[in-house]
Amino acid sequence: MKTMSIALQGLSCFRKLMRLLVAGTWMASGCWIAAAADGQATNPAPARIGVYDSRAVAYAHFWSPANQRELRKLMDTAQAAKQAGDTNKFQEISAQLQAQQAESHRQVFSSAPADEAMTAISARLPEIQKEAGVTELVSKWDESKLKGYPEKQQVDLTDKLVRELVQPTEQQAKILESMRKQKPLPLKDVDELIRKDQI
């Protein structure tokens, strides 16, 4: 009987010890999780974004093999329509080409978004962002989107995006380099030059 009592007392002590150990472990892990969560809340890793000169990307898109093929196809179709006497079709394609040229001028000479260029390489953008460690891509002329990102959080991906579209010739490389040294013209000025047929 005495032996049984000692065993029960020992078991009771063991259970109390286990409860204390479990409670201590739970409290310690709770404190660790809370501290980790608190650290994350107060010290988040700053987001990095990829920035690019939309003028350079639009210029590269204009000279890209795919875009040049499309332009050549449109011009050939317009020429064939003209030779066949199909005035309506010729004028329709001519108007389309003029509209594309005007938009290209807005993008290359000013700060209009390079939407067509970015669409052309859209399949590659997730991989480009992953490789660069950036959360999104923003035109360097989009001041409203860049407000929340200091310069140290911005990664310039202009050259990378350009080379997704075209391998620049020596002449094209010179033009791209000169763009870096100049600010874009205001859109209203470019629209006026387009209206006057001066660009």
The pLDDT tens digits of the residues spanning 124-171 come to 999 999 999 999 999 999 999 999 899 999 999 999 999 999 999 999
Q: In the prediction, which pLDDT does 1 show?
A: 42
pTM: 0.76
- Does the pLDDT of residue 13 top 60, yes or no? no
Q: In the prediction, which pLDDT does 26 show?
A: 37
- Does the pLDDT of residue 31 top 80, yes or no? no
Compute φ and ψ for 34, nearest 5 degrees. Answer: -65, -40
CA distance 34 to 174: 56
Report CA Rg, the chain.
Answer: 32
Q: In the prediction, which pLDDT does 46 show?
A: 75
Using 50, 70 and 90 to split pLDDT, how confident is the model at 43?
A: low
CA distance 79 to 18: 90
Q: Tokens at residue 2, please?
A: 């005495």
Instruction: Output helix, strand, coil percentages for the chain, rounded to the nearest 5.
Output: 70, 5, 25
Sheet of 49-52: strand order equals 137-139, 49-52, 154-156
CA distance 89 to 81: 6
Compute φ and ψ for 151, nearest 5 degrees. Answer: -55, -35
- Does the pLDDT of residue 59 top 90, yes or no? yes
Q: In the prediction, which pLDDT does 47 show?
A: 87
Q: In the prediction, which pLDDT does 3 show?
A: 36
Q: How many CB atoms lie within 10 A of CB 2?
A: 6
Please report, for residues 17, 23, 43, 118, 168, the alpha-carbon distance to residue 29 in angstroms, rounded to integers and kept in the order given: 18, 10, 21, 47, 57
Using 50, 70 and 90 to split pLDDT, how confident is the model at 30?
A: very low
